[in-house]
Amino acid sequence: MFDLTGKTAVITGGASGIGRAIVERFIAAGARVLVADKTDASEWCHEIGAAYFAADVSVEGDIEGMLRQCHHLYGKVSVLVNNAGIQPLGVGFDTLTPQLMQRTFEVNVNSVAFATKHARTYLEDGGRIINMASFVGLIGVPLAAAYATSKAAVIHLTKLGAMELAARGITVNVVCPGTVMTPAVTDIPDNPEIPFITSRTPLGRLARPEEIAAAVHFLASADASYITGAVLPVDGGISAGWNQHPVIPPTNIEGGIWRD
C-alpha cells in the first residue's frame, strides 16, 4: 500500500459511497483525514480517528472553512480530494431547467474551482489535488445534459489547475469512474442502469468503491509525483468503447480478404 504517513488530507463527500472508501483507505495508509460533508458523519469520524467538518461544497465560504480547519488541526494540507457531487441522471434537454443546471454546476463544478482557488493558500508545496469526474464526462450519453456537462467541466478545470499550480510542484489530476456499486445506484429498485452498463462494459461488471479509492490513493502518493493534468478512467473499459457492436461484414470480404 502506498504510504501516506504524515500526510494530511481533506476529502469532500467523504461520509458515504466512493468518498467513504477513500477516507478508509487513506487512514489505513497513515494519513490524517478531515471529512467534509453535508451529512453528519461526526460519530463515524470519531470512531475511525478522522476529523469532521460540516460543509456544503456549493458555498465558497464552506470550502475555505474546511481547508482552514484542516490547517488548524494538522498543519498544511497535503492532499485535497474533490469528491462531493450530485448526479441528476435521466434528465435530457427536453426537461432541463435553469434551476437544475445551476445547482448541478454549483455543486459539481464551482466546488472544484473554488477548492482549487483556496488550495493555493492551504496546500503544501508538492501537494496533490484529485478531482472526481465520470466516464460520462468523456463520452456522449443521452439524458445527462446537466450531469455529463458538469463532469466534462471538471476534467477541463483539472487541466487548468495543473498548469497554474505546477510551479509549486502541486499536481492536479482527475479520476473518471464508471458506474459504481454505491447506494445511489443499488438503492434504486430494479435499476435498469445496472444490467445496461454491465452488458456494455468490457470487464463485464460495475466498479466497487474500493477500486476507485485505490486509484485516488495512487495519485495521492509519492509514486505519482510526475503525473499532473492526467485523466484516469476507472470504468472497466467502457469509455474505450462498447464491448458489443453487432455489425455484419460486407459480402465482398471473403476469407479475410477484401475483394473489390
pLDDT per residue as tens digits for the range 217-234: 999 999 999 999 999 999
| 68 located within any domain | yes
Q: What's the first-to-final CA gap in the chain, in angstroms?
A: 57
Average pLDDT over residues 189-196: 93
The span from the CA of 178 to the CA of 107, in Å, is 20
Active site residues: 147
pLDDT confidence bin for 184, thresholds 50/70/90: confident
**For residue 244, pLDDT beyond 90:** no
Question: Mean pLDDT over residues 164-184, rounded?
Answer: 97
Whole-angstrom distance, CA of residue 11 vs CA of residue 213: 11
Per-residue pLDDT band for 256 (boundaries 50, 70, 90) equals: confident
Compute the radius of gyration of the chain from its Cα atoms.
20
Would you state the cell numbers that stand for residue 251, as one nine-digit string? 459480402
Residue 125 lies in a domain: yes
Query: Phi-psi category of 106—alpha, beta or left, where left has phi over 0 and alpha has psi -120 to 50?
Result: alpha
Per-residue confidence (pLDDT) for residue 255, from 0 to 100: 86
| All cell numbers assigned to 240 | 474505450
212 belongs to a structural domain: yes
- Look at residues 153, 52, 165 and name the one whose alpha carbon lies nearest to residue 106: 153
Residue 1 has pLDDT above 80, yes or no: no
Residue 158 lies inside a defined structural domain of this protein:
yes
Beta strands in 137-217 (DSSP E): 171-177
Has residue 75 been placed in a domain? Answer: yes
Note the pLDDT tens digit of each residue in 32-82. 999 999 999 999 999 999 999 999 999 999 999 999 999 999 999 999 999
Answer yes or no: is 50 within a domain: yes
The residue among 251 and 216 whose pLDDT is bigger is 216
Residues 132/154, Cβ–Cβ less than 8 Å = yes
Number of domains within the chain? 1
Q: For residue 2, is it within any domain?
A: no
CA–centroid distance for 169 within its chain: 21
pLDDT band, very low/low/confident/very high, at 122 (cuts 50, 70, 90): very high
Q: In the chain, what percentage of residues exceed pLDDT 90?
A: 90
Give the structural domain span for 228: 8-258
Q: Which CATH number fits the domain that encloses residue 175?
A: 3.40.50.720
Q: How far apart are CA 252 and CA 239, in angstroms?
A: 31
Q: What's the pLDDT score for residue 57? A: 98
Comparing 150 with 254, the larger pLDDT belongs to 150
* Average of per-residue pLDDT values in the chain: 96
Residue range 243-250: average pLDDT?
A: 82
Quick check: is 3 in a domain? no
Residue 114: pLDDT band with limits 50, 70, 90: very high
Question: Can you give the length of the chain in residues?
Answer: 260
